[in-house]
Structures are given as C-alpha cells and as structure tokens.
C-alpha cells in the first residue's frame, strides 16, 4: 500500500519497558516530527512500596511547560490515587487530586516526589520547545 499523506503524523511505536520509576511510554519532539514547536514525555507511574523521586533537582526552562498528573480511579477522576510532592520556586505543594500545573518560562520547579502511589498514575509534560532543554 502506498504511503498516505498524513500517516507520519500518527505515532504508535511506544516504549513498553518498565524502569525504576514507571514506564516512559513515549517522547515526542522535533526528532519525531520535524520542526514541531513542542515536546511531550508521557509515562505511567506504577504502585510501589517506596517513594519515587522522578526529578530531584529544582530547575527552570526558557519555555512554558505543562505538568500533568491523573489518577485512575474510575469512580472519582479527581482522586490522584497517591500523594505527590511538587515544588514551584520555594513553595511546596502536596498533591492528592488529578491536576494540570502550568509552569511559566523561567520559573524554578521540582523536585517531584511520589510519596504514595496506590493505583497507576498517568503523567505527562508538554513544553513549548522542539526538544526538552534545561
């Protein structure tokens, strides 16, 4: 069958391997689709008995970023199914509800620490840059 005009815009080749933190499903950036103006990292965070430090270092970017955390309780979609510590500048937030966190460019954020994961948590970030950069 001949290649269709837009098929390169649909990505199904996802990573299925688990690592110490969870499963990084996919990284989409300007390497995936040339000249795309944003990137995204998509991951599942699996339940574990110990805390999970996803990012231990405070940092900032020269682009806006959206950080998301979604619980998987079908009876209460606001329930994060866990407890996450997230820092914005010098303010610590204890997150227990599904959420979207907007980080304006130049704003220090992280660490992000999963203190409790009772059910899988779906997590992704999106940034207004072709690739993730600090």
> Domains in the chain and their CATH numbers?
16-127 (2.60.120.10)
Question: How confident is the model over 71-102, as pLDDT tens digits?
Answer: 999 999 999 999 999 999 999 999 999 999 99
Give the pair of three-digit tokens for residue 67: 């950080």
For residue 37, what pLDDT band results from cuts at 50, 70 and 90? confident
Rounded mean pLDDT, 7-30: 72
CA–CA gap between residue 133 and residue 128 (Å, rounded): 10
Q: What is the pLDDT of residue 93?
A: 99
Distance between first and last Cα of the chain? 42
- Report whether pLDDT(64) > 70: yes
Number of Cβ within a 10 Å radius of residue 39: 22
pTM of the model: 0.84
Sign of dihedral through CA atoms 101, 18, 36, 11?
A: negative
Please give the pLDDT value at position 118: 96
């Amino acid at each position: 069958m001949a290649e269709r005009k837009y098929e390169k815009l649909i990505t199904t080749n996802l990573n299925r391997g688990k690592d110490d933190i969870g499963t990084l499903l996919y990284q989409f950036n300007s390497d995936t689709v040339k000249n795309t103006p944003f990137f995204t990292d998509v991951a599942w965070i699996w339940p574990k008995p110990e805390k999970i430090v996803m990012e231990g270092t405070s940092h900032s970017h020269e682009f806006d970023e959206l950080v998301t955390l979604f619980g998987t309780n079908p009876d209460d979609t606001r329930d994060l199914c866990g407890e996450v510590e997230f820092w914005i500048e010098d303010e610590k937030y204890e997150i227990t509800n599904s959420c979207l966190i907007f980080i304006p460019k130049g704003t220090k954020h992280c660490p992000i620490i999963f203190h409790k994961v009772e059910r899988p948590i779906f997590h992704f970030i999106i940034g207004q840059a072709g690739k993730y950069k600090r």
